[in-house]
Amino acid sequence: MEQVKRDRFMSYQPRRIARFEMRLVTERAGQKLYTLKNTERYIYLRLTEKGRILWDMMDGTRDIAAILNECTRVGQPISIEKLATFLDLLESKAMLQLSGENTDDQTSAVSSLRLLGKALVYREWAIEVGGLVDWLYRHVGWLFYARPVIVALGTLSILGPLCFVAAMLCNPHATATGSVGTLHAVIMMAIRPVVVIAHESAHAFTCRRFGCEVPRVGLALYYGSLCTFVDTSDVWMCDKSKRVLTSAAGPISSWVLGSLASVLAFILPFPAANQVLFQAAAWCFLASLFPLNPIMEFDGYYMLVDWLEVPFLRRKSFRFIAHQLLPRLRSRTLLNRRERVYLIYGLLALAFSVFSVLTPFYLVLNHSIRGWIASSGVLWVTVPVFATMGLSLTLELIARIINWTRGTRGRDRAQESPST
């Protein structure tokens, strides 16, 4: 551990934080899983039964030797290496009270570079809105979860795509293109804030519906792209189904907005309104489907992670393919269920990444497509998109290099620690 010198490790007495909450969230294959929460900093950690037992022992009265002996006495033996890894993880998640006298204040150049790379890859600007979210939910948000409203929205979600297709087939005013570039630009600028607010509000209200806190909202710079976020981490204190529903609420809200615009575009007798509503519906439907892509770390990814109950799926899949797949193939060892999940997801993610990188270059180099882009008036949109993608790839490369400097030995031990 960083906070304790190695020569004094055996006499170290770990003390857990005073303000925490632990809840049994699920039982998987006869194994109990708990969620540990730092109630002051809203940091969460998943523990197995062995991790819970270790956590209970860390009251500041037992040293490392006593903890090892106690684990053996209760039938949960653990090696000193795994215990050290577990303590490292607890410290990184701010679950332990730091010992000031043993703290190493020196920061290496590699650590400084790692912090700089982390700031470039992800940075957020958040505001505390816990009281505001509670007030909005009590006065407005709860209405969307009343049974009649849910039935009405569900019916609208089914009728919407049907009206969208009917508008394409039967209403020539809705599909009239006109000045496509200008119209698309105006519609996107007008609709995007509405879709974003509805999307994030759906996440927040659903989380609040399940009795969880929503402490923060804000903006985040993620691989060079600016996006909004709502901190619904507290839903980790709930079971799997509630976590999946919280992630799905955002795309569902965009789908409902698209369905409403589709119905209006089909029934209103105003040609100009038909065209605008049809384009708005198309944008909302795309906005609902894009976050469901499980290959990217958006709503669909977190739904898949919760459904499979495999945290850090993307990271672990890439690590498995890079460091463990070839030895498995050479030894002709059969892959277990989790390793098959890592393999399938990792290969799909790599294929999607290659496709995402090559497609923009194809669109730029293809003469006919380039001419269409120039004549349609959307060139001003494609240039910043390509620039952002190039910046994102550069930042991701920097992040990979920084991660490589850490080595894989400690991370491999962390996978076997009592917390996973």
* pLDDT tens-place string over residues 103-154: 343 334 434 444 444 555 567 788 888 889 999 999 999 999 999 999 999 9
* Residue finishing a domain among 308, 328, 343: 308
* Residue 39 is assigned to a structural domain of this protein: yes
Q: Give the pLDDT of residue 415.
A: 43
User: Does 318 or 392 have the greater pLDDT score?
Assistant: 318
* Residue 258 is assigned to a structural domain of this protein: yes
Q: What is the mean pLDDT of residues 170-191?
A: 63
Does residue 144 share a domain with residue 32?
no
Q: What is the mean pLDDT of residues 273-291?
A: 85
Question: Does the pLDDT at position 250 exceed 90?
Answer: yes
Q: Is this structure's pTM higher than 0.85?
A: no
Does residue 207 share a domain with residue 162?
yes
* Residue 347 is assigned to a structural domain of this protein: yes
Question: Does the pLDDT at position 161 exceed 80?
Answer: yes
Nearest partner of 288 among 302, 278, 299, judged by Cα: 299
**How far is C-alpha 342 from the geometric centre of its chain's CA atoms?**
17
Question: Does the pLDDT at position 412 exceed 50?
Answer: no
For residues 118, 123, 126, 130, the Cα torsion angle rounded to the nearest 10 degrees is -50
Does residue 220 share a domain with residue 177?
yes
Q: Give the pLDDT of residue 263.
A: 93
The b/e string for 122-143 (b: 16+ C-beta within 10 A; e otherwise) is eeeeeeebeeebeebbeeebee
Does residue 203 share a domain with residue 277?
yes
pLDDT band at 368 (very low <50, low <70, confident <90, very high): low
Does residue 124 share a domain with residue 263?
yes
User: For 219-240, how does the pLDDT look when each residue is reduced to its tens digit (9 = 90+)?
Assistant: 887 666 678 889 898 998 888 8
Q: Give the pLDDT of residue 395.
A: 55
* Residue 330 is assigned to a structural domain of this protein: yes
User: Does 14 or 5 have the greater pLDDT score?
Assistant: 14
The b/e string for 70-104 (b: 16+ C-beta within 10 A; e otherwise) is ebeeeeeebeeebbbbbbbbbbebebbeeeeeeee
User: For 52-88, how does the pLDDT look when each residue is reduced to its tens digit (9 = 90+)?
Assistant: 889 988 988 888 888 888 888 888 888 888 888 888 8
Nearest partner of 130 among 228, 241, 204, judged by Cα: 204
Does residue 336 share a domain with residue 241?
no
Which range of residues forms the domain containing residue 81? 6-106
- Cα gap 242→261, rounded to integer Å: 29
Q: Give the pLDDT of residue 324.
A: 87
Does residue 163 share a domain with residue 147?
yes
Q: Give the pLDDT of residue 157.
A: 93
Which CATH number belongs to the domain containing residue 26 in this structure?
Answer: 3.90.930
Q: Coil, strand or helix: which one is 173? A: coil
* Residue finishing a domain among 65, 87, 106: 106
- Cα gap 104→5, rounded to integer Å: 8
* Residue 402 is assigned to a structural domain of this protein: yes
* Residue 17 is assigned to a structural domain of this protein: yes
Does residue 319 share a domain with residue 188?
no
- Cα gap 88→96, rounded to integer Å: 10
Does residue 280 share a domain with residue 391?
no
Question: Does the pLDDT at position 370 exceed 60?
Answer: no
pLDDT band at 45 (very low <50, low <70, confident <90, very high): confident
Q: What share of the chain is helix, strand, coil (3-state, %, to 5)?
A: 65, 10, 20
* Residue 1 is assigned to a structural domain of this protein: no
Question: Which residue is listed with tokens 């200008």?
Answer: 182
Question: Does the pLDDT at position 359 exceed 70?
Answer: no
Number of domains comprising the chain: 3
Does residue 77 share a domain with residue 199?
no
Q: Give the pLDDT of residue 112.
A: 44
* Residue 333 is assigned to a structural domain of this protein: yes
Does residue 147 share a domain with residue 24?
no
**How far is C-alpha 268 from the geometric centre of its chain's CA atoms?**
39
* Residue finishing a domain among 308, 328, 355: 308
Kindly report the average pLDDT of the chain as a whole number.
77
Q: Give the pLDDT of residue 99.
A: 59
Nearest partner of 112 among 315, 312, 405, 407, judged by Cα: 405
Does residue 407 share a domain with residue 258?
no
Provide the residue type at 400 as one letter.
R
Q: Give the pLDDT of residue 197.
A: 92
368 Cβ contact list (under 8 Å, min separation 6)? none
The pair of three-digit structure tokens given for residue 221, joined into one six-digit string: 């710079």
Nearest partner of 79 among 416, 420, 419, 338, judged by Cα: 416
